[in-house]
Structure 1
Amino acid sequence: MLQARILSALVLVSLVFIVLFVFPPLLFACTCALLIVLAVWEWTQFANIKQPILRWIITSIAAAFLYLFIYANSDFIASGKILNNVSELLIVSSLIWWIVAFILVMTYPKSTAFWGNSTIAQILFAFFTLVPFFLSLLALRFYHYNSSPYQGITLLLYVFLLVWTADTGAYFAGRKFGKHKLAETVSPKKTWEGVIGGIVLTVIVAAIFLTITPLYEATRLSFAELVAVSVLTVVVSILGDLTESMLKRHCGIKDSSQLIPGHGGILDRVDSLTAALPVFSAFFFILT
């Protein structure tokens, strides 16, 4: 199992770098859309949809919506642009969704009275999680694309680094010092000590990253603003993880799927990023 997990991780990291550094805008957008389509397929089981034909129909509708969006905006995307009034609104509106998600997680299992048996509610959860995530991937990747094609890559790598560092710091700090449960009814192993350890390690790594890369100088944010947004991003990434844990616990499943050997499904790998990327994007673009 450990061998499969390590091998899968190496393949995933390699794919991420290929998609970021090699793929042109349209191919990047299509790849991100495929990621979302796979995530929608996994999410349908959260929505209590057991019939395979219904899961296929919903996933196909999502695929059609995403690829029609790409087709309709192909010239716009090919030129390295994505942000417009609608996409900006969806990214910013995700802030409201994550406030709602926080309330649902903190009041679980009582909160299931409002959404536990509602397929419509859980499809809305998927929409406000995955669509802003998709748009944020494109918005950050294409940031100043025409004048500096790699600046967006640096932004995305920075957010990935924040989330992965926070996960690592939380894991080791939680194992060593963890005593006070963070959200026991949702994820019994997570502790406040782990959260603090993750944040501390992230601040250190973020400061180093901002010092040795041109990211800080390329933005209009002050160093303090960028660090503050980074810490908020890490905090919200934990909420993304907890939200998926809540949905899986309610469905009685351990992993969203078995697509990635040793790692579970797509949602198991991007749960933190589904919250981190839209929140980082919203504040980044508001402040700049």
Structure 2
Amino acid sequence: MLRERVITALLMLAGLLAAVFYLPTNGWWIACGALGLAAAWEWAGLFHLPSAVRWGYGVVVAAAVVAFAAIASPAIDAALFVLSALFWMLVAPPWLKQRWRLSGGAVLPLILGLVILLPSAVALARLREANVWLMLAVMAVVWVADIAAYFGGRAFGRRKLAPEISPGKSWEGVYSGLAGVLLYGAVVFSVWMPFVPQRLGWPIALMLLLALSALSVIGDLFESLLKRQAGLKDSSGLLPGHGGVLDRIDSLTSTLPLVALWALVWRLAGS
């Protein structure tokens, strides 16, 4: 199982880097649309919707992603990213605390999926346009937080973070993830992105990283809640050893749109 997981992870990383550095802009948008299609197909599956609905929903999300490439409106982008930020900061935390369930058929789950999946796919595309290294650095924040939390939780985990949602996560794992992100941020801001702490100041820059790490945990827990309510261990079996696409991008859905919004505001403020 571990061998399969490592091989899949290496293949995904190689595929991501190849797409990031070799695809033209239109090709990258198509790749983000394909990612949105796969994630939307899995999302609809979490609510046990029929196969035709799952595929149709995936096509709708992919088409919406590509439409944003054609529109290319900073105002519309900002509105989309603000909607995502409001959901993750104001709606998701009480949702997790109360463990709400969506009811009323397919309409509400599919609308919620658009709020979560569309901004993250568009943000992934826009961040690559803005600065490919910024995009990779932000994705690495999530990866560092996950890895540090995993090993910290295994070594020191005692107090459960949310046993009703994800029994394997602990507060000690969260603290380890935050510590890993702080160390990572100190290196990145010192070596590759000194303009961030120079403009914002070190305390604010590191606090923003911690906030981003906390949001990544919320995104992870939110998908775990939906899977638990659906009675599923993984969102699908598309990625051997890793489950599905949603299982790999859950933390990115809550972080990428916020960073894309920040990058958009930064660019407009500097222009």
Q: Structure 1 length as normaliser, TM-score?
A: 0.86
Same amino acid, percent of matched pairs: 33
CA contact (8 A) 2:235 2:246 kept: yes
CA contact (8 A) 2:36 2:58 kept: no
2:218 is equivalent to residue 228 of structure 1 = no
Residue from 153, 163, 169 that aligns with 1:174: 153
2:253 is equivalent to residue 274 of structure 1 = yes
Question: What one-letter code is carried by the residue in structure 1 that aligns with 2:9?
Answer: A
Q: Quote the RMSD (CA, aligned, Å).
A: 1.8
Q: Secondary structure at the match of 1:262?
A: coil
Residue from 107, 118, 122 that aligns with 1:120: 107
Q: Hey, what's the Cα distance between the residues in 2 that align with 1:116 and 1:197?
A: 36
How do residues 10-21 of structure 1 correspond to structure 2 at under 5 angstroms? 10-21=10-21
2:63 corresponding residue in structure 1: 64
Q: Hey, what's the Cα distance between the residues in 2 that align with 1:22 and 1:223?
A: 34
CA contact (8 A) 1:83 1:139 kept: no
Q: Hey, what's the Cα distance between the residues in 1 that align with 2:262 and 2:227?
A: 29
- Structure 2: runs of 5 or more not aligned: none
Question: What one-letter code is carried by the residue in structure 2 that aligns with 1:2?
Answer: L
How far is the alpha carbon of 1:83 from its aligned partner? Answer: 5.2
How far is the alpha carbon of 1:169 from its aligned partner? Answer: 1.1
How far is the alpha carbon of 1:285 from its aligned partner? Answer: 3.7
CA contact (8 A) 1:133 1:277 kept: yes
CA contact (8 A) 1:48 1:119 kept: no
Residue from 88, 92, 95 that aligns with 1:101: 92
Q: Hey, what's the Cα distance between the residues in 2 that align with 1:117 and 1:192?
A: 34
Q: Hey, what's the Cα distance between the residues in 1 that align with 2:77 and 2:139?
A: 21
Q: Hey, what's the Cα distance between the residues in 1 that align with 2:57 and 2:254?
A: 22
1:24 corresponding residue in structure 2: 24
2:75 corresponding residue in structure 1: 85
1:208 corresponding residue in structure 2: 187
CA contact (8 A) 2:147 2:177 kept: yes
How far is the alpha carbon of 1:205 from its aligned partner? Answer: 1.2
1:217 corresponding residue in structure 2: 195
Using the TM superposition, name which of 218-227 and 274-283 deviates more: 218-227
Q: Hey, what's the Cα distance between the residues in 2 that align with 1:58 and 1:201?
A: 37
How far is the alpha carbon of 1:97 from its aligned partner? Answer: 1.0
How far is the alpha carbon of 1:183 from its aligned partner? Answer: 1.3
2:204 is equivalent to residue 251 of structure 1 = no
Question: What one-letter code is carried by the residue in structure 1 that aligns with 2:57?
Answer: I
Q: Hey, what's the Cα distance between the residues in 1 that align with 2:203 and 2:26?
A: 34
Q: Which has the higher helix share?
A: 2
How far is the alpha carbon of 1:284 from its aligned partner? Answer: 4.3
Give the direction of change, closer, same or farther, for the CA distance of 1:285–1:228 in structure 2 (3 Å limit).
farther
Stretches of 4+ moved more than 6 A in 1? Answer: none
CA contact (8 A) 1:229 1:283 kept: no
CA contact (8 A) 1:237 1:275 kept: yes
How do residues 108-147 of structure 1 correspond to structure 2 at under 5 angstroms? 108=99, 111-112=100-101, 115-143=102-130
CA contact (8 A) 2:19 2:28 kept: yes
